[in-house]
Amino acid sequence: MFFDCHTHTVNSDGKNTVWDMCNSAVNKGISGITITDHATINFYKDHDTFNRIKQSIADTIEAKENFRGKLKVLKGIELGEYTYAPKKADEVLSLGCFDAVLCSVHLVPKAGWSLAYNRIDFSDPSISDSDINEYIKLYFDLLSETVDCFDFDILAHIQCPARYITGKFCRKTNVMLFEEKIGEILEKIIKRNIALEINTARLCSDFGNINFQTEEILKLYKLLGGKMITLGSDAHIESSVACNFSEASALIKKCGFNSLYYFENRQPREILM
């Protein structure tokens, strides 16, 4: 049975309600879902982040009751851009009561890049291949710094810029050029009992290949002694709940793992595959 540990709703930038996402999870036959709306620290005031996360928690608590016996529904948060304003991030985290806290980086405000990577047009020919590599390097540096800053349970989408640079704009990337930095980040999370998320959004290419060096990252994680993996669809729409989970679990097994995890009350729970 699968557990989707990373989903979004109308309480952040998702298209559907908590109820819709849970209903979709039931229809897809998975055993549980964690609602992890974005705490957008860089847009803290504009997005009314604090109140929207409060609403996300309230809606999730209601769904938890309504889906009891059919689906396990858990409360989470995707804390992005912690380093942008740590005090604000701590304020929203102080709401407590999360089952799972995800850490992510979407914005690398360095070397003239001012937009989040999902808003950058990487097809622009004035962005060279070496600019792209430099951008990915800056991303991993910031991710490594962010990991040190706060207490969380799951490292979300470790190689996410590739989802846009390659997945959306078809520019070549090889995140394993930064294997050393990725290894450093993985070692840190392993030491702190933080799980590695395999983010399944755009995981498979049209030709059935696994994208974004996910296999290489999993092999490195295994080599370094990593054990805890979560699956996250990063669904922003109900139809994407648990997308590519079969492909992801086949890959994870192939890399030598035989269980997956989710977090409840901020404690890891193992599910055998």
Is 234 a binding residue for Zn ion by CB under 5 A? The answer is: yes
N- to C-terminal Cα separation, the chain: 7
- Contact between residue 104 and residue 76 where contact means Cβ atoms under 8 Å apart: no
Total residues interacting with Zn ion, rule: CB under 5 A: 3
**φ, ψ (nearest 5 deg) of residue 239:** -65, -20
Cα 243 to Cα 120: distance, rounded to the nearest angstrom = 25
Q: How far out from the chain centre does Cα 162 lie?
A: 13
Whichever of 47 and 227 has its CB closer to Zn ion, that residue is 47
- Contact between residue 41 and residue 79 where contact means Cβ atoms under 8 Å apart: yes
Which span (124-132, 164-172, 210-218, 228-236) binds Zn ion, by CB under 5 A?
A: 228-236
Helix (H) or strand (E) run with residue 106 in it: none
Whichever of 55 and 222 has its CB closer to Zn ion, that residue is 55
Query: Residue 105 Cβ, how far from Zn ion at the closest point, in Å?
Result: 8
Q: Indicate which single residue of 9, 34, 104, 166 sits in contact with Zn ion (rule: CB under 5 A).
A: 104
Query: Residue 126 Cβ, how far from Zn ion at the closest point, in Å?
Result: 27
Is 230 a binding residue for Zn ion by CB under 5 A? The answer is: no
Query: Residue 272 Cβ, how far from Zn ion at the closest point, in Å?
Result: 26
Which span (74-82, 138-146, 247-255, 256-264) binds Zn ion, by CB under 5 A?
A: 74-82
Cα 151 to Cα 165: distance, rounded to the nearest angstrom = 29
Residues that bind Zn ion (CB under 5 A): 78, 104, 234
